[in-house]
Structure 1
């Protein structure tokens, strides 16, 4: 039986953040105080491609902070790409933890289909 799910992403898992960075070829995230344009915030900072300032994730609250100056300092599509990578990596981590096998397929529209099967981690 197939189940289609849509997920609103809250970033709460540092391991999945790191895996998302590896997946996209980004630098290792930095934990601590991170300077945005007009404020300093605390969390896990990720430098997205072509962004002037990092995106900062508070893994305790799931809150995301960034300043891309309405797209002038970084395209929203880069953040969307990271959130997709994070969601896929988090899904894979949780599925494997429960003993499911995982397969992923990139679809023509750029989305990623993740299939889980009960029994046998892959």
Structure 2
């Protein structure tokens, strides 16, 4: 039986953030306090491609902080791409932890289909 799931992503797992960065060919995330245009944010910082300032994830609250000046300092699509990569990697980590095998399929519309099944983790 198939189920369609939509997820509002909260970023709370450093391992999945690192895996998402690897997946997209980004520099590894770093922990600290980061300057955004007029504020600072503390957490796990990720520098997205072509973004002036990093995106900062507070792993304790799941909150995402960034300043892209309404797209002038970075396209929102890059953040959406990262959040998708994070969600896929987090799902794979949790599925394998529970003993499920995972098969990933990229779809023509840019979405990603994950099929999980009971058995040896793949």
Given the two structures, how large is their TM-score scaled by the length of structure 2? 0.99
1:14 aligns with 2:14: yes
> How many residues are aligned here?
122
Which stretches of structure 1, 4 residues or more, deviate above 3 A after TM superposition? none
1:67 aligns with 2:67: yes
**Aligned-pair Cα RMSD in Å:** 0.5
For 1:66 and 1:8, how far apart are their aligned partners in 2? 17
Q: Equivalent residue for 1:94?
A: 94
- Structure 2 residue runs of 5 or longer lacking an equivalent are none
- Secondary structure, counterpart of 1:33 in structure 2: strand
Residues 63-101 of structure 1: CA distance to partner in whole angstroms, max 9, x if unpaired?
A: 000000000000000000000000000000000000000
For 2:51 and 2:80, how far apart are their aligned partners in 1? 13
Taking the TM superposition and a 5 Å limit, the aligned residue runs for 1:1-122 are: 1-122=1-122
- Secondary structure, counterpart of 2:105 in structure 1: strand
- Structure 1 residue runs of 5 or longer lacking an equivalent are none
